[in-house]
Amino acid sequence: MVYIGIDVGGTGIQIGVVDENGRILAKGDTPTLVGRPFEDIVRDMGNCMLNTIKEGGFTTADVAAIGVGVPGIADNQTGNVIFCTNLGWTNVPLRTELQKYLNKPVYIDNDATVAGFAESVCGVSAGRHSSVFITLGTGVGGGIVIGGRPWSGFHGIGSEIGHIPMDMNGEPCTCGNYGCLERYTSATAIIRMAKQQVLQHPDSMMHDLCGGDLTKLNAKMVFDAAKEGDPVATKVFNRYADNLAQAIYTIIAFLDPEMIVLGGGVSKAGSFLLNAVKERLPRYLIFKTLPYAEIEIARLGPDAGIIGAAMLGRN
């Protein structure tokens, strides 16, 4: 039997036929074209799924289940997507609609939860009892796995790690609260801090890397300049690493998983970031002599969305 994994993004929908070990056997994609009626998006999704199955040399009889990762909140009782801000979806019956194209069990979960689950099936946290995955991108998402199973909360509104307050008197967040964790640990936070610094220090290497156009400054440029020893970029990088270490400490103090996995665009910095965070983490730990979570960089890259979604059906 095989499992269909569908990763729904704001730009494209990635679809894979996946075996029970999380290996992708066939892949397809179709543009999301946000703004269309929900039924039209699901029609393209359904047809792309059927094509991918066929082109991979499988039949619909080989398919055990379908899993879908969405950038939002889903209710697995009803199979409805409750909120998907990027897609403009509110209470859409995704399961019912998708089953019109292939009548198999459909499981839906948050994209960060699904990506974290993929890492725990066949990525860096494979075989670990428990893990928390953090996506460090434009925002910050979280994926919790406990006892080998994804946990997005009893009501499906948990693992919103990006919106835990780190500074209740801090900066306003898009969610309406103040000082949320993603204000300090996202790629957006790096860019915001770097811009402030470049304005004060126009001699920074970051100024050259973005061609003098601060609207083009991105997190990679900041890290690249820091690697080269640029003092202003190093200051931003150190501040960011401190923030991320505190965020990781929060996960340890609350849930103490076996492993914490860093994913998303910022995690591409690899060992440069990982080493800086690991070096800073112990200063925040309460029990300085006791074992705590291993911290690792995610391994599956963009395929994590397909794999994790497919594996929802295996569970």
> Is 61 a residue that touches its own copies (CB under 8 A)?
no
Closest CA to 294 of 181, 131, 68: 131
Among 166, 214, 274, 297, binds its own copies (CB under 8 A): 166
287 part of the interface to its own copies, by CB under 8 A: yes
Among positions 151, 223, 237, 240, the unique one binding its own copies when judged by CB under 8 A:
151
Shortest gap between Cβ of 139 and its own copies (angstroms)?
12
- Exactly one of 26, 65, 82, 219 binds its own copies (CB under 8 A); which one? 82
- Between 61 and 288, name the residue whose CB sits nearer to its own copies: 288
Range 179-185, long-range pairs (CB < 8 A, 24+ positions): 181/140, 181/247, 181/250, 182/139, 182/140, 184/240, 184/243, 184/246, 184/247, 185/134, 185/136, 185/140, 185/240, 185/243, 185/244, 185/247
Quick note: the x/- pattern for its own copies over 183-212, rule CB under 8 A, is -x----------------------------
Q: How far apart are CA 39 and CA 128, in angstroms?
A: 39
CB of 288 to its own copies, least distance (A): 9
Report in angstroms how near the CB of residue 237 gets to its own copies at its nearest: 18
Which of 21, 254, 279, 302 is close enough to bind its own copies by CB under 8 A?
Answer: 254
> Cβ closer to its own copies: 114 or 307?
114
Torsion from C-alpha of 67, 69, 73, 76, nearest 10 degrees: 10
DSSP 8-state secondary structure symbol assigned to residue 129: S
Q: Which stretch binds its own copies (CB under 8 A): 14-22, 102-110, 164-172, 270-278?
A: 164-172
Amino acid identity for residue 199 in this structure: L
Nearer to its own copies, 156 or 313 (CB): 156
CA distance linking residue 117 with residue 287, whole number of Å: 28
Q: Which of residues 62-81 bind its own copies (CB under 8 A)?
A: 73
Which H/E stretch holds residue 29? strand 24-31
Instruction: For residue 84, state whether it binds its own copies (rule: CB under 8 A).
Output: no
| 147 in contact with its own copies (CB under 8 A) | yes
| 54 three-class SS | helix
The answer to whether 206 and 222 are in contact (CB under 8 A) is yes
Name the residue nearer to its own copies (CB basis): 33 or 157.
157
**Distance in angstroms (rounded) separating the CA atoms of residues 88 and 290:** 46
> Would you count residue 160 as binding its own copies (CB under 8 A)?
yes
Q: How far is CA 194 from CA 138, 189, 235, 246, 286, in A?
A: 15, 8, 9, 20, 31
Describe the strand order of the beta sheet including 80-84 as a list of residue ranges. Answer: 73-75, 80-84, 89-92
Angle between helices 304-314 and 111-122 (to 10 degrees): 80
> Smallest gap, in angstroms, from Cβ of residue 283 to its own copies?
8
| Binding region for its own copies (CB under 8 A) out of 31-39, 133-141, 163-171, 271-279 | 163-171
Task: Name the one range near its own copies by CB under 8 A: 105-113, 173-181, 209-217, 227-235.
Answer: 173-181
User: Which positions touch its own copies (CB under 8 A)?
Assistant: 73, 82-83, 129-130, 142, 144, 146-147, 151-161, 163-170, 175-177, 179, 184, 246, 249-250, 252-258, 283-284, 286-287, 290-293
